[in-house]
Amino acid sequence: MTPAHLSALWRGLAPGLGNHLWQSTLFAAAVALLTFVLRKNHARARYWLWLAASVKFLVPFSLLVTTGSFLAWSHSSPAANGGLYVAMEEIGQPFSLPAMPMTVTSPAGPAVVSGLQHWIPGIFLATWLCGCAVVLFVWCARWRRVSTAMREAAPLQEGPEVDALRRQERMAGLRRPIEIVLSRASLEPGIFGIARPVLIWPEGISEHLEPAHLEAILAHEVWHVRRRDNLAAAVHMVVEALFWFHPLVWWLGARMVEERERACDEEVVELGSERQVYAESILKVCEFCVGSPLACVSGVTGSDLKKRMVNIMTERIARKLDFGRKLLLSTAGVLALALPIVFGLANAPRMRAQGQAENAVAAAPAYKSASIQPHRSVNGVKEHVGIMFSPHGFTAQGATLQTVIGVAYGVQADLISGAPDWVNSEKYDIDVKLPDSPVEDTPKDAGGIGIQHLRLMLQALLADRFQMTLHRQMKDVQVYELVVAEGGPKLQEAKPGDSYPNGFKGPNGRTGTGMMHMGPGELIDQGTTLEPLVEQLSWQLGHTVLDKTGLKGNYDFSLRWTPGQREAGMTKLMGSTPVTEGTSSASSEPTLFTALEEQLGLKLEPQAAPMEILVIDHVEKPTVEPSEGSTPVRVPGEVMNGLVLKKVPPDYPETARQAHLQGTVVLDATISKDGDVENLQIISGHPMLAPSAIEAVKQWKYEPYLLNGEPVEVETQLQVNFTLQQ
């Protein structure tokens, strides 16, 4: 695995790992608070709390969040739960914040920083693996010592030790007898094993113990088996091996051993053992043996010996949990499970949409080829931005990468964060081609292919050629809410079944419902919902617009206004100069905000709202390959219109004239380095008009298109209009 792959993997895992460690730390802090409240109660309650804090390191809350998202009701809306979601995310996921911009002090800085960033994940991974290896090696060495003692030990079938052990098993309610072995090692008495526990009994220790001492020690070990303390200790050993770098993990282990031994002490004393005799038995074991080297081999002498003696000899009796404390523990347990699930419920629409998007990206169409070149201004043509989806792919002329990202993901610039400065300053000419479809009846228009399909192709291009990775998060941003103005809406509801014979036509020459026409200061919709209007308003304003009108029908409407300074989105996209509001004398149309209220009965209100933003984690400048003479460059028709030297009008076919047929023929063409038109193909248009259009376009002549100062072959789309004179 290369450093670049490790870096990409780290960018994906680091926020989740950081959030998990933070959540586990908060959970442990809450447990510590609960144990303080229960300090005068039985130690077993505190022990299980510490164990829960340990297990939390192995169980990320994201599992419960996912469960909550699946349980979410279908009619929940992200807007209704947005505030709750943002508040919970800020607390529970502090490591999902957008990256801060980096200040570069020298030209060599970015390369050095980028190289270090690629190696940092590898260094972290190597350090973590070394730490895990050291912890496992130390435990294996200690385990081998205990295993050796077990192999050399002899089974003990009879004697006072066996008789006392069986009595304690019956008192503790154990059904399976515990095997006891006699060991010559100096290890203290302890329980070895989890599924089939075995009691290691040091040879000769019985000679130093009175019968009451023997009974007390064996009772202590039996309760370790009854409580399954070895299993819990083994689980925590896994936690320590994986999270050895977190000091809290080792502190939790010490608390678990302390409360484990104290819980067994309480059980032994409550069963009738005299406190002094029991304390003496522990001290005698300490004199004769050494402590167990492993936490998962439960012995007698664990924890702080002095503190244990004080607790054993103190006459105070640990209180049982009263109703209030039981209610407290129950509430804490329910909250620990319920809060992540509620988080998932609140976040379900966003997670579902993100999951669908990720699945769609996985099935995104592969592109046949892609040309990415730094943008060069064309001689004699006004500088502007051209963006076009076509049946063949995608073309961008003089577009910044931020504009392309916005088009690919269908968002405005205000919902893109964390990108370096060059993303919004350096311009590119991009031409992406789709693979040739084996299906002959594939629709010859971008709408037939599906705009979402083309956007997914563009997202694949960004990941492949720009090495772009991103994540999504919620953030309060400035948006506009589209609401109904005073006096009510002025929209005309579409008539069911209306074929719109006098309506405008699309590029394919057809008309009908669900169509939209947009031009500078003009927007006409026929038979559409308000969704296209909201989307176009977002592009016009450069800010996200949310539909709060509550209008769900299909409508016919036209909107005309004078573009002004506030339409920053569209003027920036098209590269035009906005008209200063209140200074235009050439047009009597109102501004966009006024036109909406006067013509449609709708109003835009600025608001702050939680929105999903795209946070760019990583992006690189593309490797620009020199364009070969045999590879045409895709250029929008608007650009080529500025280079026309000769344009022959078409002859109107007589049959079309008699049939009162008019319309537009769209042709796909190749323009050679010399400016000649070649390889004409019909994209759309009436068959009666197309031959005449082709004959006319063959005679057109263009000024050569220059790229990096050299003429190149160009692919473009040309339109030929046929209009009958009145």
Q: Which residues of 652-673 are buried (b: 16+ CB within 10 A; e: fewer)?
A: bbeebeeeebebbbbbbbebbe
Of 183-197, 277-291, 305-319, give the lowest mean pLDDT range: 305-319
Q: Give CA–CA dist 534/559, Å, rounded.
A: 13
Q: Give CA–CA dist 95/90, Å, rounded.
A: 9
Most confident of 171-175, 287-291, 362-366: 171-175
| pLDDT higher than threshold 90 for residue 584 | no
- Yes or no: say if 549 and 602 are a contact pair by the CB < 8 Å rule: yes
Q: Give CA–CA dist 558/491, Å, rounded.
A: 9
Q: Give CA–CA dist 610/283, Å, rounded.
A: 63
pLDDT bucket at 113, cuts 50 / 70 / 90: very low
| pLDDT higher than threshold 50 for residue 84 | no
DSSP state of 642: T
DSSP state of 1: -
Mean pLDDT of 481-491: 90
State the Rg of the chain over Cα. Answer: 38
Look at residue 353 and give its three-state secondary structure.
helix
- Yes or no: say if 237 and 139 are a contact pair by the CB < 8 Å rule: yes
Look at residue 724 and give its three-state secondary structure.
coil
pLDDT of residue 382: 44
pLDDT of residue 12: 59
For residues 88 and 328, the model is more confident at 328
- Yes or no: say if 386 and 639 are a contact pair by the CB < 8 Å rule: yes
- Yes or no: say if 697 and 720 are a contact pair by the CB < 8 Å rule: yes
For residues 351 and 489, the model is more confident at 489
Q: Give CA–CA dist 467/472, Å, rounded.
A: 17
pLDDT bucket at 656, cuts 50 / 70 / 90: confident
Q: Give CA–CA dist 325/71, Å, rounded.
A: 31
- In the sheet that holds 515-519, the strands lie side by side as 492-493, 555-560, 522-528, 515-519
Mean pLDDT of 318-322: 73
pLDDT of residue 439: 35
| pLDDT higher than threshold 80 for residue 305 | no
Number of H helices, E strands in the chain: 21, 24
| pLDDT higher than threshold 60 for residue 295 | no
Of 83-87, 154-158, 252-256, give the lowest mean pLDDT range: 83-87
The separation between CA 388 and the C-alpha centre of its own chain, rounded to angstroms, equals: 29
Q: Which CATH architecture fits 633-722?
A: 2-Layer Sandwich (3.30)
Q: Give CA–CA dist 199/189, Å, rounded.
A: 7
Neighbours of 256 (CB within 10 A): 26
The separation between CA 721 and the C-alpha centre of its own chain, rounded to angstroms, equals: 48
Fill in the amino acid letter for 493: E
Q: What angle do CA 523, 527, 532 make, to 5 degrees?
A: 50
pLDDT bucket at 677, cuts 50 / 70 / 90: very high
DSSP state of 513: S
The separation between CA 669 and the C-alpha centre of its own chain, rounded to angstroms, equals: 42
| pLDDT higher than threshold 90 for residue 528 | no
Kindly give the residue spans of alpha helices, DSSP state H, lying in 590-679: 592-595, 637-641, 654-658
Q: Give CA–CA dist 188/298, Å, rounded.
A: 10
For residues 119 and 468, the model is more confident at 468
For residues 634 and 700, the model is more confident at 700
Domain ranges of the chain: 3-104+323-355, 134-313, 364-474+620-625, 489-600, 633-722
Q: Give CA–CA dist 102/313, Å, rounded.
A: 63
DSSP state of 495: P
pLDDT of residue 112: 43
Q: Give CA–CA dist 284/289, Å, rounded.
A: 9
Mean pLDDT of 596-610: 90
Joined tokens for residue 450: 């599906």
Handedness of CA 434, 439, 440, 445 (dihedral sign): negative
Measured in residues, the chain has a length of 726
Residue pLDDT, tens place only, 415-456 = 999 999 999 888 888 888 877 643 333 333 444 446 677 788
CA 48 → CA 35, 54, 260, 287, 381, distances in Å? 10, 10, 9, 31, 76
Q: Which residue from 206, 194, 227, 200 is spatially nearest to 292, judged by alpha carbons?
A: 200
| pLDDT higher than threshold 70 for residue 578 | no
Torsion of CA 606, 611, 617, 619, to 10 degrees: -60
Of 70-84, 323-337, 711-725, give the lowest mean pLDDT range: 70-84
| pLDDT higher than threshold 80 for residue 267 | yes
Q: What angle do CA 307, 311, 316 make, to 5 degrees?
A: 155
pLDDT of residue 503: 66
| pLDDT higher than threshold 90 for residue 322 | no
pLDDT bucket at 687, cuts 50 / 70 / 90: confident
Q: Give CA–CA dist 586/184, Å, rounded.
A: 106
What phi and psi values does residue 714 have, to the nearest 5 degrees? -125, 140
Q: Give CA–CA dist 299/246, Å, rounded.
A: 27
Helix (H), strand (E) at residue 535: helix 531-541
Q: Give CA–CA dist 44/667, Å, rounded.
A: 82
- Yes or no: say if 544 and 412 are a contact pair by the CB < 8 Å rule: yes
Give the mean pLDDT of the chain: 77
pLDDT of residue 536: 80
Fill in the amino acid letter for 61: F
pLDDT of residue 524: 81
Q: Give CA–CA dist 410/353, Å, rounded.
A: 14
pLDDT bucket at 149, cuts 50 / 70 / 90: confident
| pLDDT higher than threshold 80 for residue 414 | yes
Joined tokens for residue 528: 């559409």
Residue pLDDT, tens place only, 3-22 = 555 555 566 567 778 888 88
| pLDDT higher than threshold 70 for residue 720 | yes
| pLDDT higher than threshold 50 for residue 87 | no
* DSSP strands (E only) in 401-540: 416-417, 427-433, 469-484, 492-493, 515-519, 522-528
| pLDDT higher than threshold 60 for residue 717 | yes
Mean pLDDT of 155-166: 88
Percent of the chain scoring above 90 in pLDDT:
15
pLDDT of residue 100: 35
Most confident of 84-88, 109-113, 143-147: 143-147
Mean pLDDT of 230-244: 91
Residue pLDDT, tens place only, 688-704 = 788 889 889 999 999 99
pLDDT bucket at 28, cuts 50 / 70 / 90: very high
| pLDDT higher than threshold 50 for residue 572 | no
pLDDT of residue 110: 42
Mean pLDDT of 368-381: 68
| pLDDT higher than threshold 80 for residue 586 | no
- Yes or no: say if 429 and 633 are a contact pair by the CB < 8 Å rule: yes
Most confident of 11-20, 246-255, 549-558, 570-579: 246-255
Q: Which residue from 548, 542, 530, 532 is spatially nearest to 415, judged by alpha carbons?
A: 542
Mean pLDDT of 450-474: 84
pLDDT of residue 514: 66
If you write DSSP's letter for every residue of 63-113 in order, what string do you get? HHHHHHHHH--TT--TTTTHHHHHHHHHHH-TT-PPPPPPP--STTHHHHH
User: How do strand 701-702 and strand 644-646 relate by DSSP bridges?
Assistant: antiparallel
Q: Which residue from 537, 546, 531 is spatially nearest to 612, judged by alpha carbons?
A: 546
Of 103-112, 187-196, 412-421, 621-630, give the lowest mean pLDDT range: 103-112
Of 106-110, 220-224, 264-268, 612-616, give the lowest mean pLDDT range: 106-110
Mean pLDDT of 220-226: 89
CA 518 → CA 385, 508, 533, 537, 559, distances in Å? 16, 16, 10, 11, 10
- Helix, strand, coil percentages for the chain (3-state, nearest 5): 45, 20, 35
pLDDT of residue 582: 42
What phi and psi values does residue 428 have, to the nearest 5 degrees? -135, 155
What phi and psi values does residue 675 have, to the nearest 5 degrees? 95, 10
Q: Give CA–CA dist 708/642, Å, rounded.
A: 18
If you write DSSP's letter for every residue of 243-279 in order, what string do you get? STT-HHHHHHHHHHHHHHHHHHHHHHHHTT--HHHHH
pLDDT of residue 362: 47
The separation between CA 348 and the C-alpha centre of its own chain, rounded to angstroms, equals: 13
